[in-house]
Copies of this chain bind each other. A is one copy, B any other.
Amino acid sequence: MAPGPRRRRPRLEDVAAEVGVSTGTVSLVLNGAPGPSAATRDRVLAAAAEIGYRADRTAARLARRRTQLLGVMLDVRSTFHADLAAHLQDAAETAGYDVLLSSITPTRDSRRAVETLLDSRCEALVLLGPDESTSRLDALGEQLPVVVVGRRLRSSSLDVVRSADDVGVAAAVEHLAGLGHHDIAFVDGGRGTIATDRRAGYLRGMRRRGLERHVRVLTGGETEQAGARVADELLTGERLPSAVATFNDRVALGLLGGLVRAGLSVPEDVSLVGYDDSPSARLPHVDLTTVSQDTRLQAESAVRAALERLDHGRTTPSEVVLDPRLVVRRTTGPV
């Protein structure tokens, strides 16, 4: 079929002309507003379908004095962000808002990503793991409702949704201790607030079980490399812990790889717990016991926080801290 002549997109006016009413009436009908009679309603709807009319959101956003747009900044290449984004999409849609996704890329930093959102007149912003400084975020929060997801920070103008990292690791320790482990080590994740929280959770978990003297924090990192390094360290050391909790799944995976290559079995020789419940943790040949953050709930909380400000006039900052959930798989077992 030859590419037909691309016709002008039908406008409200075309539908109106077709039916013989004013554009105002058509608009009311299409938006389900009260007023138009049932008869008119039917005719308008029929005509709209007939000529394949689709409202132009661009124009609608301008005319209505609201855009009903929720801006989401994320790194689309992070599976965690992607998961959140999908749920944010759903939650926003339910509330009658559109979502505008703006991803950072190697050549597009968070400042630019946010600017894009602002330029399209988003009414509120949801920032996934933003790397901006607190003061910049604060300044943003003065301009419009901003919800920060996954980063702990106290601010007078921002809302925060995050999960209780310390609780997650403490639960992991509790699980291991419950399996009879005493010699439980922790692989640290560096010096971010997240790492601090998770380490704190480890210490608390150990203390609660009276295992203070078994506390062993190993310097780790955030990647598989770090995990592999720790594996070497443990293998050459004198004492192998019976269980290891780690900063995140990637570290756990690196560690796992290192141990298995050295001929050790998990969980027979060492039990292992990760953090994040990333897709790789779910691979059948990995099947890592880990801690899962409920992305759906985080997304819903973020949308709710934004809407409270937008539609219900809240002006005081809110912080939602969700409890993560331990997912027991096959890398942990009794001593």
Pairwise interchain contact B4-A142, C-beta atoms closer than 8 A: yes
Pairwise interchain contact B285-A258, C-beta atoms closer than 8 A: yes
Pairwise interchain contact B119-A57, C-beta atoms closer than 8 A: yes
CB distance from A76 to the nearest CB of B (A): 4
Instruction: Confirm or deny: A260 has a beta carbon within 8 angstroms of a beta carbon on chain B.
Output: yes
Pairwise interchain contact B76-A85, C-beta atoms closer than 8 A: yes
Pick from B58, B82, B90, B253: contact of A58, CB below 8 A.
B58
Pick from B105, B224, B253: contact of A86, CB below 8 A.
B105
Pairwise interchain contact B89-A82, C-beta atoms closer than 8 A: no
Q: Please give the count of copies of this chain that the complex contains.
A: 2
Closest to A120 in B: B57
Q: Which residues of B contact A315 (CB under 8 A)?
A: 3
Q: Which residues of B contact A57 (CB under 8 A)?
A: 119-121
Pairwise interchain contact B1-A157, C-beta atoms closer than 8 A: yes
How many of chain A's residues touch chain B, expressed as a range? 35 or more
CB distance from A314 to the nearest CB of B (A): 10
With A and B bound together, what is the CA distance between A89 and B113 in angstroms?
11
With A and B bound together, what is the CA distance between A76 and B77 in angstroms?
8
Pick from B1, B76, B116: contact of A76, CB below 8 A.
B76
CB distance from A230 to the nearest CB of B (A): 13
With A and B bound together, what is the CA distance between A107 and B87 in angstroms?
9
Pick from B54, B59, B142, B284: contact of A62, CB below 8 A.
B59
With a 10 A CB-CB cut-off, give which of A4, A108, A260, A285 has the most chain B CB atoms.
A285
Pairwise interchain contact B119-A54, C-beta atoms closer than 8 A: yes
Pairwise interchain contact A101-B103, C-beta atoms closer than 8 A: yes
Pick from B61, B79, B93, B107: contact of A90, CB below 8 A.
B107
Instruction: Confirm or deny: A67 has a beta carbon within 8 angstroms of a beta carbon on chain B.
Output: yes
Pairwise interchain contact A3-B157, C-beta atoms closer than 8 A: yes
Q: CB-CB contacts of A103-145 with B at 8 A, as 1s and 0s?
A: 1011110000001101111000000000000000010001110
Instruction: Confirm or deny: A36 has a beta carbon within 8 angstroms of a beta carbon on chain B.
Output: no
With A and B bound together, what is the CA distance between A258 and B4 in angstroms?
54
Given contacts A82-B77, A284-B224, A284-B257, contact A90 B67 (CB under 8 A): no
Given contacts A62-B59, A228-B284, contact A76 B67 (CB under 8 A): no
Q: Which residues of B contact A241 (CB under 8 A)?
A: none
Instruction: Confirm or deny: A212 has a beta carbon within 8 angstroms of a beta carbon on chain B.
Output: no
Given contacts A3-B157, A144-B6, A285-B254, contact A103 B121 (CB under 8 A): no
Binding site for B on A (CB under 8 A): 1-4, 6, 9, 54-59, 61-62, 67, 76-77, 79, 82-83, 85-87, 89-90, 93, 98, 100-101, 103, 105-108, 115-116, 118-121, 138, 142-144, 156-157, 224-225, 228, 253-254, 256-258, 260-261, 279-280, 283-286, 315
Give 11 A-B contacts (CB < 8 Å), ordered by A residue.
Answer: A1-B138, A54-B115, A58-B62, A76-B85, A86-B106, A90-B105, A100-B100, A224-B284, A228-B285, A254-B284, A257-B286
Given A1-B157, A9-B121, A89-B105, 7 new contacts (CB under 8 A): A3-B156, A58-B67, A77-B79, A77-B86, A90-B108, A253-B283, A261-B285
